[in-house]
Amino acid sequence: MVHQFRLKKPLIWVHYLASDKALKLEYDQEHNALRSGPKPEQPYNIEQSFFEIIFALYAYKRYAAARSLPAAKAEYAAYTLDCWQTTSYARFPFTKWFANNVPAHSIALQTEHQHIAKQAVLLVLGIGFFPIHEERKHPELIQIPPPQDD
């Protein structure tokens, strides 16, 4: 993404800062910020959608072969799931879904690091969320169930 931007705007200098903190843009500064999560509530932040990443639950084929996969939300209590972050910090849209649908005893791993949570799924630790555009990179993953609005 940064590379494509630099190809189109070679004279613009990019300072890439990744943080889980809410970064503020002050008045009269000529900066742009790309952020994830819900639309900001602060009136001084102007938000324009850049792109949407759709997530779905995935299981590794070996995980699925060892047990049947959940067919309904009510069945998630019988499985192990990997969560990207703690429920106290709801940046990702599925954090609320985890809190509403997965009991604490079913969470095998809880981390704030996307890479670690994804590796946990690939290492057959449990079911976890992946961006659907990454599915083709990992043909050994099975999507369960198809993406839903909640």
Amino acid at 101: N
pLDDT at 139 (0 to 100): 93
pLDDT at 3 (0 to 100): 81
Query: pLDDT for 58-103, tens place per residue?
Result: 998 988 888 888 887 778 778 877 766 655 555 666 777 777 888 8
pLDDT: which is higher, 2 or 59: 59
Residues of the chain with pLDDT > 90, as a percent, come to 5
Which CATH number fits the domain 55-143, given the four candidates 3.40.190.10, 3.50.50.60, 3.30.2130.30, 3.30.1300.10?
3.40.190.10
Give the SS3 label for residue 115.
helix
Q: What is the mean pLDDT of the chain?
A: 75
pLDDT at 117 (0 to 100): 84
Antiparallel, parallel or unpaired: β 81-83 and 107-110: parallel
pLDDT average, residue stretch 117-121: 87
What are residue 31's phi and psi, to 5 degrees? -120, 155
How many angstroms separate the CA atoms of 118 and 136, rounded? 14
How many angstroms separate the CA atoms of 144 and 106, rounded? 16
How many angstroms separate the CA atoms of 28 and 26, rounded? 7
Q: How many whole angstroms from its chain centre is CA 104?
A: 19
Query: Given the structure tokens 């198809």, which residue do they identify?
Result: 146
pLDDT at 23 (0 to 100): 61
CB contact at 8 A, 117 and 83: yes
pLDDT average, residue stretch 120-134: 87
Degrees (nearest 5) of the Cα angle 81, 86, 90?
Answer: 105
Confidence band, pLDDT 50/70/90 cuts, at residue 141: very high
Query: pLDDT for 32-64, tens place per residue?
Result: 666 666 666 766 555 666 677 788 889 989 888
Of 81, 84, 80, 142, give the one whose Cα is nearest residue 116. Answer: 84
Confidence band, pLDDT 50/70/90 cuts, at residue 29: very low
